Amino acid sequence: MGMVSEFVRALSVAQGHDYNNCMHELALAENIIEIVTRCAQHEGFTRVGRVRVRVGTLAVVIPEALQTAFAAAKRGSPAETAVLVLESEPGQAWCRDCAATVVMNDALDACPCCQGYALRITGGNALRVIDIDGE
Ligand SMILES: [Zn+2]
In angstroms, what CA-CA distances link 12 with 30, 76, 100, 111?
13, 23, 27, 28
Specify if 96 maps to a domain. no
User: The domain spanning residue 83 has which CATH number?
Assistant: 3.30.2320.50
Q: What pTM does this model have?
A: 0.79
Specify if 33 maps to a domain. yes
pLDDT value of residue 15: 47
Q: From the CA of 131, how far away is ligand 1's center (Å)?
A: 35
DSSP β-bridge partners for residue 8: none
Specify if 110 maps to a domain. no
Q: Which domain holds residue 69?
A: 2-89+125-134
Specify if 49 maps to a domain. yes
Specify if 22 maps to a domain. yes
Q: From the CA of 98, how far away is ligand 1's center (Å)?
A: 4
The domain tally of the chain equals: 1
Q: From the CA of 124, how far away is ligand 1's center (Å)?
A: 18
Q: H helices then E strands: how many in the chain? A: 3, 7
Specify if 44 maps to a domain. yes
Q: From the CA of 60, how far away is ligand 1's center (Å)?
A: 23
* Per-residue pLDDT tens listing for the chain (135 residues): 445 444 454 445 544 444 444 468 888 999 999 999 999 999 999 999 999 999 999 988 889 999 999 999 999 999 999 999 999 999 999 999 999 999 999 989 999 999 999 999 999 988 999 999 999
